[in-house]
Structure 1
Amino acid sequence: MASCHTSHQLLALRAYTDPETALVARIAWHGLSRAMHHHAYELAPTVTELRGWHRDVTTVLPRLVR
């Protein structure tokens, strides 16, 4: 899986962890990816969104590291 594209890894994550953890990981990844590839014609993410994604990542990481 390490050589696969991140979107494919996120789809396969359900096979390695519970569905809730996989969903939170996908939501956080897509939100942060969208924030990092921000376009001038889009609204920037809010502080609340950024903090939420940070919270999600800090919640999911311990569940995935074994």
Structure 2
Amino acid sequence: MTITPEDLVTDAGRLLLPPAEAPLALTPGLRARAAAVLLRLALEQALDTYWKQVTPRMTRIGKHRMLCLEWYAGYDAARRCRTTWAALSAACHYRAYELPPAPAEIQARLREVIALLTALGAGPATAAKTDCTDT
């Protein structure tokens, strides 16, 4: 059984807005942090799928796939991807001196991840200016 990015986004949405009849064993901050982990995983899986379509070698390089995204998916998609990934990464980490992320903040990131899944699912938008995997 394979879990798709769409499944992860759906599960994150259920964590953020649980059904009324569901028992609320987790605090809203803990549910928001768990949803952030699922959303970041969905974004990373979508990036892997995207790069498999473009050049499979890029899936082995973690940081470079974000940096080279601008030449393949366009400036706006690359900027949104970097910003969303960084915000989700910050929300995933537990720090004793910080409050957990607010559910409304993660809900906004959920909408952004959905938009990015759509943008990355369309394949490369423009031809590559340079081959980032050869550097």
Structure 1 partner of 2:86: 30
**Structure 2 Cα separation of the partners of residues 28 and 38 of structure 1:** 18
Question: How many residues of Structure 1 are paired with residues of Structure 2 in the alignment?
Answer: 65
Following TM superposition, the consecutive aligned residue runs of length 4 or more in structure 1 with deviations greater than 3 angstroms are none
Give the letter for the 1:36 counterpart. C
Alignment of 1:14-25 (within 5 A): 14-25=70-81
**What TM-score do the two structures reach when normalised by structure 1?**
0.83
- SS of 1:26's equivalent? helix
**2:120 is aligned with 1:61:** no
**2:60 is aligned with 1:3:** yes
Once the two structures are TM-superposed, the CA of residue 20 in structure 1 deviates from its matched residue by 0.9
**Structure 2 Cα separation of the partners of residues 39 and 20 of structure 1:** 31
**Structure 2 Cα separation of the partners of residues 14 and 60 of structure 1:** 13
**Structure 1 Cα separation of the partners of residues 91 and 79 of structure 2:** 18
Once the two structures are TM-superposed, the CA of residue 22 in structure 1 deviates from its matched residue by 0.8
Give the letter for the 2:90 counterpart. R
Once the two structures are TM-superposed, the CA of residue 42 in structure 1 deviates from its matched residue by 2.0
5+ unaligned residues in a row in structure 1: which ranges? none
5+ unaligned residues in a row in structure 2: which ranges? 1-57, 124-135
**Structure 2 Cα separation of the partners of residues 9 and 49 of structure 1:** 26
Structure 2 partner of 1:12: 68
- Percent of aligned pairs with the same amino acid: 34
RMSD: 1.3
**What TM-score do the two structures reach when normalised by structure 2?**
0.44
Once the two structures are TM-superposed, the CA of residue 43 in structure 1 deviates from its matched residue by 2.6
